[in-house]
Structure 1
Amino acid sequence: MIKKRESFGETLKKLRQSQKMTQKMLAEGICAQSLISRVENNEELPNVVILQQICQRLDITMDQLMQFESEEINQRNDQLNKVHHHFIQKNYLKMAQLLKDESLINSLFLDADFQRYDYYLSICAFYVEKKTIKALQLLKKAISYTHKRENPNISILEIQMMADLGRMYQKNGQLEAAFIELERVYQLIDVLPEERKNFELNKIYFYYGELLFEQQRYTEAFEIVEEGMALAQQFCSYYYLEELFTLNGKLLEVDNQSTEATEYFFLANMVQKIVRD
């Protein structure tokens, strides 16, 4: 017996439910709850602007919602999310192992999927294989799927990739290119609406702050690091907090504030222990 394909409304409903969202939660700040109900009952289709906002809240692309069933989307996203979990934990070896899974590779279909996959591959090439040129090539390829510099509506993922590009340039001794990328990324964060920010942006403050520190631009580095520590506090996150505390300690040492520097080195050590435990 041929399985009946899900309707658009059924797909949306199942994706919403899989993320433990009520219709009210999905609709909040986007549209009326009644519209979500009508869409899920296949009585109405939202306009493109509303549909884009709904997809952003569900962390899917419009193409995924239009072309795939909920089970296909959830399976693909679950696999990529497992990789992303290890990315956040900086467990790059485990990432590399998961990226070899043929079921994951065979599930990739959309540009958005290949973009994330190539991004993760570039990180593994850089940190696990220690192949900077390969990493840069993969990362540039990943960015090229969607990124256009004149586009003001840049995604968080694009910001992350550009930041890592700057980091790779820095570690490869291409300092001018590193500054171009990281300064641009920092400016993009500065104008990013608060509701779009997340804890993952914290590494950018560390990347940029460390680059400024290495160039002895200490005053600017202080400001960047303070912003990063404030973002970590805002999201109650330890992500790159150890690195920011350590960098702040180094900056305080340069400023002959040895007591304060020692306090930040102690805090960095405490964060390291908490994260490892």
Structure 2
Amino acid sequence: MNVEAFIEARKHKNLSQNELAEGICTQTTLSRFENNGQVPSLKILIKLCQKLDFPIGDLFPKIGMKNSELVESMDKVEFYFITSEYDMAQKVLTELTFKEEDKESELYLRYLYLKGFLMIFKEEPVTDILFTFDQILLSEKVNEETIYSLLAYTGIGMTYSREKDYDKAEYYFSKVIEKIYVYPINKTEDTWRVLNIVFHSGVFYAEVGEIEASNALLNYAIEICSLNHLTYYLARAAFQLALNHMNEEQPKEVVLELLYDARAYAKINKNNVLLEKIKTVEQQIKTRDMMET
């Protein structure tokens, strides 16, 4: 409660505690409120504020408003990740600010996860990325069962994979895979983050040639979307499956069906980056067909 603003309003009116309390409550009651934060009854509080011409709503901190704005901004960033619009994500993320006392909150952990992933996508230095994820893992609010620790492990795995250090990458991805299949999905936000982890794990295993493991993870991502009636990551999962099937030399019809699915989902999510990739792969298939005939 913003007691300091209340006191400032009283002083601005040039009223002593006795003068303000007169006819409303005892001076002791007012003193306890101003000095110790002991809130009087709502009726008394309303009368005191009316006497000061002080909106009672100004007594209450605007944390809800601030948090809702932060959440909305981070939702945007998370969606930009889905559509691979990393410059847009960076623009939103750089505008967010946190006070020192907020840096142990869950919102700040989410900010660090988003910042770390964006640093990977923007190919920033490895040490800076790892430092960002270490801040999550060293937080008192995090243990190995929380989604943010799993996201941090995924991010570290992606970082080592980017550097072609696949042994270290596999170490972190394996820690994630042990837990992600049983992680409870209770909210839409949980679904986004689980899908993020499952999808990027699937991409990693495709990159190291473990196509069977990759296909299992990507199909699991599609199953999560289907069960929760979501399109997030459907396009990218279907596209990666198409690439996997191409590497496995699966029939063209199987690959094209997945590409068509990926294109439909990409249009729904307005993922123009992926639509261009799909177009390129379709052209490669057509070129190969022409060469074979």
TM-score normalized with structure 1 length: 0.65
In the other structure, the counterpart of 1:169 is 160
The 5 Å alignment of 1:47-196 reads: 71-90=62-81, 91-101=85-95, 104-106=97-99, 109-112=102-105, 113-128=107-122, 130-146=124-140, 151=143, 154-195=145-186
Moved more, 78-87 or 260-269: 78-87
Call closer, same or farther: CA 1:108–1:114 in 2, change over 3 Å: farther
- Determine if contact 1:166/1:181 at 8 Å carries over to the other structure: yes
* Residue number in structure 1 paired with 2:252: 258
Q: C-alpha separation between the residues in 2 aligned to 1:84 and 1:139?
A: 19
CA contact (8 A) 2:116 2:129 kept: yes
Secondary structure, in 3 states, of the residue corresponding to 1:208?
A: helix
* Change in CA separation of 1:193 and 1:106 when aligned onto 2, cut-off 3 Å: closer
Q: Which runs of 5+ in 1 are unaligned?
A: 11-68
Q: Once the two structures are superposed, what CA deviation does each residue of 1:103-160 show, in whole Å capped at 9, x if it has no partner?
A: x233752412443333333233332363333222222223321476xx56x2223222
Please tell me whether the aligned partners of residues 119 and 161 of structure 1 are also in contact (alpha carbons under 8 angstroms): yes
Change (3 A) 1:219 1:239: same
Q: In structure 2, how many angstroms separate the alpha carbons of the residues matched to 1:158 and 1:269?
A: 32
Alignment RMSD (CA, Å): 3.0
Aligned AA (1:273) = K
Change (3 A) 1:147 1:75: closer
Alpha-carbon distance in 1 for matches of 2:192, 2:115: 22
Larger radius of gyration, structure 1 or 2? 2
Count the aligned residue pairs: 213
Identify the range of structure 1 (200-209 vs 123-132) with the bigger mean alpha-carbon deviation.
123-132
CA distance in 1, matches of 2:100, 2:69: 11
Check whether the contact 1:199–1:231 (CA below 8 A) recurs between aligned residues.
no
| Structure 2 counterpart of 1:86, one-letter code | V
TM-score, normalised by the number of residues in structure 2? 0.62
Match of 1:222 in 2: 215
Q: Secondary structure at the match of 1:276?
A: coil
Q: Which structure is higher in RCO with an 8 Å CA cutoff and minimum separation 6?
A: 2
> Which blocks of at least 5 consecutive residues in structure 2 are unaligned?
1-5, 10-32, 43-59, 272-293
| Partners of 1:77 and 1:132 in 2: CA distance | 32
